[in-house]
């Protein structure tokens, strides 16, 4: 992988489709391997860089939407899966469908 293959650089969505944030990613300035760690190794260094990145929010939203592997927006794939599930549950709740019946009061 070349030094330009970072999460922000690896994506080829044109800026007019919301990809303009990528050129500002801090990950473009560091070792890209940090953002795709070997299984079982820490993602802490990459996530720490993301906390200081000015495009963290659009990066995270993009990764949530596209299901990419690696660290994006300061999160791991498992964390993004959890965010997707939480959002889906909130949408369901906001839609007014109750999944559990309220018990009758005595
Ligand atoms: S939030 Fe992290 S992965 Fe996303 S562009 Fe910034 S440094 Fe790169």
**Which pLDDT tens digits describe the chain residue by residue (106 residues)?**
444 466 776 655 544 456 689 999 999 999 999 999 998 999 999 999 999 999 999 999 999 999 889 999 999 999 999 999 999 999 999 886 555 555 566 6
At 36, list the tokens: 């795709």
| Cβ of 56 less than 6 Å from ligand 1 | yes
Q: Give the three-state DSSP class for 19.
A: coil
- Domains of the chain: which residue ranges? 7-86
Contacting residues for 18 by C-beta, under 8 A, at least 6 apart: 58, 62
Q: Nearest 5°: CA angle at 1, between 5 and 72? A: 40
Contact 5, 36 (CB under 8 A): no
pLDDT of residue 9: 65
At 92, list the tokens: 């369901």
Q: How far is the CA of 88 from the centre of ligand 1 (A)?
A: 24
Q: How far is the CA of 86 from the centre of ligand 1 (A)?
A: 22
At 102, list the tokens: 């309220």
What are the CA-CA distances from residue 20 to residues 14, 16, 38, 75, 104 (Å)? 7, 7, 29, 20, 54
| Cβ of 63 less than 6 Å from ligand 1 | no
Q: How far is the CA of 47 from the centre of ligand 1 (A)?
A: 8
Which alpha helices (H) appear in the chain, and where do they start and end? 7-10, 44-51, 56-66, 77-94
For the whole model, what pTM was predicted? 0.76
């Amino acid at each position: 992988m070349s030094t330009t293959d970072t999460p922000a650089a690896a994506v080829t969505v044109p800026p007019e489709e919301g990809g303009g944030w990528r050129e500002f990613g801090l990950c473009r300035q560091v070792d890209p391997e940090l953002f795709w760690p070997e299984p079982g190794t820490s993602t802490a260094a990459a996530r720490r860089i993301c906390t200081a990145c000015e495009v963290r929010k659009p990066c995270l939203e993009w990764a949530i939407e596209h299901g990419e592997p690696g660290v994006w927006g300061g999160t791991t794939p498992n964390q993004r899966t959890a965010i997707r599930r939480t959002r889906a549950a909130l949408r369901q709740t906001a839609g007014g469908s109750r999944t559990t019946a309220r018990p009758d009061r005595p």
